[in-house]
Amino acid sequence: MSNTLKISPSILASDYANLQSELDRISTSDMIHIDVMDGHFVPNISIGAPVVAACKKVCNVPFDVHLMISNPLDYAEDFAKAGADIICFHTECDSDTEQTIDKILSLGKKAALAIKPATPIDEVVKYLDKISMVLVMTVEPGFGGQSFMESTMPKIEAIRKINPDIDIEVDGGINADTVKIAAKAGANVFVAGSAVFKSESPAETIALLKKNAQDVQ
């Protein structure tokens, strides 16, 4: 596999009272993962488009915005205007999948599809020619700090077999050890929250995650 390895720290694990300095701490990352939750699709509420827009003013790393919301079609434009570079939404949401992908693409942004641990890959496979990335959740979405679910790895292997070139992202429980398992399965984009923000040196942790992923390729 020759896909570029990317580390996308999740600001869900950051100190929201000091977001600008937290973004500075992860300036060496390839992307920044922003979890948007509506309290309906998942049982938690996080941030909306105004916070994304505020972050964009002080950060030039690409934004990987993960919409864990029931109606992403209604909000895609808000997040595109706020500065999202990639807009990822769930196949399990209420919005029509193809319509939502087309809307995101029409806004000049990259579209990505996410699936929960129990969702079959058929739900994303039919759209692989239109999207830039598939996000395979390695925990149940909604809260940070959960344990990595190795049972999701066959999905990554199957998607990688079908499409060797697409970005496959993993989100949930990623650390210096689990990143190797996910990379070996075929993932190349790694969301890490607690592992990065709770470390003494986020830059060193980002480099270590990338090195460990590289070592098993």
Q: What is the CA 67 to chain-centroid distance, rounded?
A: 9
* Residue 96 annotated as catalytic: no
Helices (H) and strands (E) in the chain, counts: 9, 8
For the segment 39-45, the average pLDDT, to the nearest whole number, is 94
Q: 3-state DSSP call for residue 190?
A: strand
178: buried, middle or exposed (CB in 10 Å: 19+, 13-18, 0-12)? buried
pLDDT tens, position by position, 171-215: 999 999 999 999 999 999 999 999 999 999 999 999 999 999 999
The closest alpha carbon to 158, from 121, 115, 114, 118, belongs to: 121
- pLDDT value, residue 145: 74
- pLDDT value, residue 197: 96
| CATH architecture type of domain 6-215 | Alpha-Beta Barrel (3.20)
Q: Residues in the chain, how many?
A: 217
% of the chain at pLDDT higher than 70: 99
Q: 3-state DSSP call for residue 63?
A: strand
Task: Indicate the pTM of the whole model.
Answer: 0.96
Of 35, 38, 64, 167, which residue is the catalytic one? Answer: 35
C-alpha Rg value of the chain to the nearest Å:
16
- pLDDT value, residue 16: 94
Of 129, 167, 171, 177, which residue is the catalytic one? Answer: 171
* Residue 171 annotated as catalytic: yes
The domain spans of the chain are: 6-215
For the segment 5-9, the average pLDDT, to the nearest whole number, is 98
**Side chain identity, residue 75:** Y
pLDDT tens, position by position, 115-162: 999 999 999 999 999 999 999 999 998 777 789 999 999 999 999 999
